[in-house]
Chains A and B, each alone.
Chain A
């Protein structure tokens, strides 16, 4: 499948400092791609280079196969984006702001503006000046301007910032729908990891301007993980497990026994316990959360 967005060895130097080190990645149509990294990792910088706000020191960004550097106008016309906070013209109304961006795109009709306004749930306030908007309302207006021209690549830098829980959920569902039903490629950067986990198909984790890893949600749930087993008697079970797996990580808790074990080993462990007449009431896999994976890969809370 042809990627919608391709980064090839993208590098950015500012002064003597290298902010992005030869970053390469691909994003495909129909997927929601998460962009994760601690503060100052270079997420926003990368997004700025993708949309042509910043030049690259070397490397190439291709959108739909078109180079953003060589043919900006053509490459950017299928991109909708929010870069950091969606700052709007505060002295204009929400509607006038949208009109402004509509005039800059091809074939955005009045009907389309109304449609988008409805979609982001701003009908009641769209004719008010933006300076009277709350943060969440501005975020919604930002989303509206990004969707106005029906882009095929949507790039959102922290889109859920400032939204209420209902709003976050709406956006999440809507982004997934856009990707699955309309085949958009959506790139989302966020700090809310649990949020990203529910929203994204794949993630790139970057740190100090380097790609630390790309993972898909499925892979994440297949890795070595914790299993909570509820058994009786606990003592017997503990000794059985210790006998079978000598160097295993194991901890009795109130709910049962927490064991770190490979995904494939779970059925064998179960069979073993049952054959020794231990009563097994439940086996619950505690998938490694994105948060743990993130902390593991980036080595904790270190700011670049």
Chain B
């Protein structure tokens, strides 16, 4: 019986020996570069950051004086206030988007592009074997269908991971060249247990990347499931992307009216809001969302597995 490593090796060969994969990597690099150049061209330099922070503090204070403000907004605003006060006190400049770290944090938006690419790879991973007819020769080897499925899933996630590393690499190189590394020692100001603390910026960037991956993993898993059920990669890609764009909006609308909206997948994919934002529905926490994501993860994967294992191959 083949080891799972050699099966993953096979899947990798099928991913990286195709031109489309390299096209995606090129596109990612290009988008990162374009983003940096656009930021540089359009950003307006702030003359006096202290004045800016001071006026922000003023606005925050006004908002906080409102009695009817819901508690969860209040907490969030108070955090912002404390952090801004800390800035003035310790002379720590906010990170502008046209700086090394500023662009690094913003580059996390590119993860959407990676999500799109990974969905394409995931959808093709199963469906293409059917449309090429190669599934027949693949499944008559001494490797169980479960193992083949696992290797495909692992190779897809590995692809996503490589793309994330590449993005981190591209954006740090491009950011260093385009914006320079003058302010590289600037700390990230975090709010922990009522105190403002200075933490490492790189750590913050990696955390933002990590939290952005929830959607990536969930939509990839979803596309994988659709591709196993319908053996059609366009359908899987289309459905996953449609859900990704519409799902968030619809969930936000539902969340305004109904409490049960918190159980929906897209109410839980934006984990970033728990560190610098407000929860979608009152009472939702990071651990609740992670638990919900885990439940969806298990459900999607079980479906994929049940269907792929039993299906008659008549392609």
Residue ranges of A at the interface with B (Cβ–Cβ < 8 Å): 48, 51-55, 72-74, 76-77, 79, 81-92, 96, 99-101, 103-106, 145
Q: Which residues of A contact B136 (CB under 8 A)?
A: 53, 83-84, 87
The one of A54, A84, A91 in contact with B17, judged by C-beta atoms closer than 8 angstroms, is A91
Alpha-carbon distance A41/B137, docked complex (angstroms)? 22
A103–B6 touching, CB < 8 Å: yes
A105–B314 touching, CB < 8 Å: no
The one of A55, A90, A101 in contact with B137, judged by C-beta atoms closer than 8 angstroms, is A101
Known: A52-B140, A72-B144, A81-B140. A104 touches B2 (CB 8 A): yes
- Whether, in the assembled complex, B13 has its beta carbon less than 8 Å from a beta carbon of chain A, the answer is yes
A53–B139 touching, CB < 8 Å: yes
Q: Which residues of B contact A100 (CB under 8 A)?
A: 10, 13-14
Alpha-carbon distance A72/B7, docked complex (angstroms)? 17
Known: A87-B137, A103-B7, A103-B9. A55 touches B144 (CB 8 A): no
B17–A83 touching, CB < 8 Å: no
Interface residues contributed by chain B, number (CB under 8 Å): 26
The one of B14, B18, B137, B314 in contact with A145, judged by C-beta atoms closer than 8 angstroms, is B137
Alpha-carbon distance A105/B13, docked complex (angstroms)? 17
A76–B141 touching, CB < 8 Å: yes
- Whether, in the assembled complex, B256 has its beta carbon less than 8 Å from a beta carbon of chain A, the answer is no
Q: Which residues of B contact A54 (CB under 8 A)?
A: 312-314
Smallest CB-CB A-B distances: 9 pairs: A87-B133, A77-B142, A53-B313, A104-B141, A103-B6, A54-B312, A51-B140, A73-B142, A83-B136
A90–B132 touching, CB < 8 Å: yes
| B window 138-170: CB within 8 A of A | 139-144
Known: A54-B312, A55-B312, A77-B142. A87 touches B134 (CB 8 A): yes
Q: List 14 A-B contacts (CB under 8 A).
A: A52-B140, A53-B140, A54-B314, A79-B140, A81-B140, A83-B136, A88-B134, A89-B14, A103-B6, A104-B6, A104-B10, A104-B142, A105-B141, A106-B2
Alpha-carbon distance A90/B131, docked complex (angstroms)? 12
B121 CB to nearest chain A CB (Å): 14
Alpha-carbon distance A250/B6, docked complex (angstroms)? 67
- Whether, in the assembled complex, B44 has its beta carbon less than 8 Å from a beta carbon of chain A, the answer is no
A92–B140 touching, CB < 8 Å: no
Alpha-carbon distance A103/B143, docked complex (angstroms)? 11
| B window 1-57: CB within 8 A of A | 1-2, 6-7, 9-10, 13-14, 17-19
B10 CB to nearest chain A CB (Å): 5
Alpha-carbon distance A102/B132, docked complex (angstroms)? 20
Known: A48-B314, A85-B133. A74 touches B13 (CB 8 A): no
B143–A73 touching, CB < 8 Å: yes
Q: Which residues of B contact A55 (CB under 8 A)?
A: 310, 312
B132–A89 touching, CB < 8 Å: yes
Alpha-carbon distance A85/B133, docked complex (angstroms)? 8
Alpha-carbon distance A141/B296, docked complex (angstroms)? 42
Alpha-carbon distance A52/B17, docked complex (angstroms)? 29
Which chain A residue has the least Cβ–Cβ distance from B312?
Answer: A54
Q: Which of A88, A96, A104 has the most CB of B within 10 A?
A: A104
Which chain B residue has the least Cβ–Cβ distance from A12?
Answer: B312
Which chain B residue has the least Cβ–Cβ distance from A93?
Answer: B17
Alpha-carbon distance A79/B144, docked complex (angstroms)? 15
Q: Which residues of A contact B9 (CB under 8 A)?
A: 103
Alpha-carbon distance A92/B12, docked complex (angstroms)? 12
Known: A91-B17, A100-B13, A104-B7. A53 touches B141 (CB 8 A): no
Alpha-carbon distance A172/B137, docked complex (angstroms)? 22
B313 CB to nearest chain A CB (Å): 4
Further pairs besides A55-B310, A92-B17, A103-B2: 16, Cβ < 8 Å:
A48-B312, A52-B140, A53-B140, A53-B313, A73-B1, A82-B137, A87-B132, A87-B137, A88-B134, A90-B132, A92-B14, A99-B13, A103-B9, A104-B2, A104-B7, A106-B2
Q: Which residues of A contact B7 (CB under 8 A)?
A: 103-104
B231 CB to nearest chain A CB (Å): 14
A106–B1 touching, CB < 8 Å: yes
A138 CB to nearest chain B CB (Å): 11
Q: Which residues of A contact B143 (CB under 8 A)?
A: 73, 104
Alpha-carbon distance A82/B133, docked complex (angstroms)? 12
Alpha-carbon distance A77/B142, docked complex (angstroms)? 5
Q: Which residues of A contact B14 (CB under 8 A)?
A: 89, 92, 100
Which chain A residue has the least Cβ–Cβ distance from B131?
Answer: A87
B92 CB to nearest chain A CB (Å): 53
B259 CB to nearest chain A CB (Å): 45
B6 CB to nearest chain A CB (Å): 4
A76–B18 touching, CB < 8 Å: no
Q: Which residues of A contact B310 (CB under 8 A)?
A: 55
Q: Which residues of A contact B132 (CB under 8 A)?
A: 87, 89-90
Which chain A residue has the least Cβ–Cβ distance from B137?
Answer: A145
A258 CB to nearest chain B CB (Å): 47
B312–A89 touching, CB < 8 Å: no
Q: Which residues of B contact A52 (CB under 8 A)?
A: 139-140
Alpha-carbon distance A48/B19, docked complex (angstroms)? 33
The one of A76, A87, A88, A99 in contact with B142, judged by C-beta atoms closer than 8 angstroms, is A76
B120 CB to nearest chain A CB (Å): 15
Q: Which residues of A contact B1 (CB under 8 A)?
A: 73, 77, 106
A212 CB to nearest chain B CB (Å): 24
B133 CB to nearest chain A CB (Å): 3
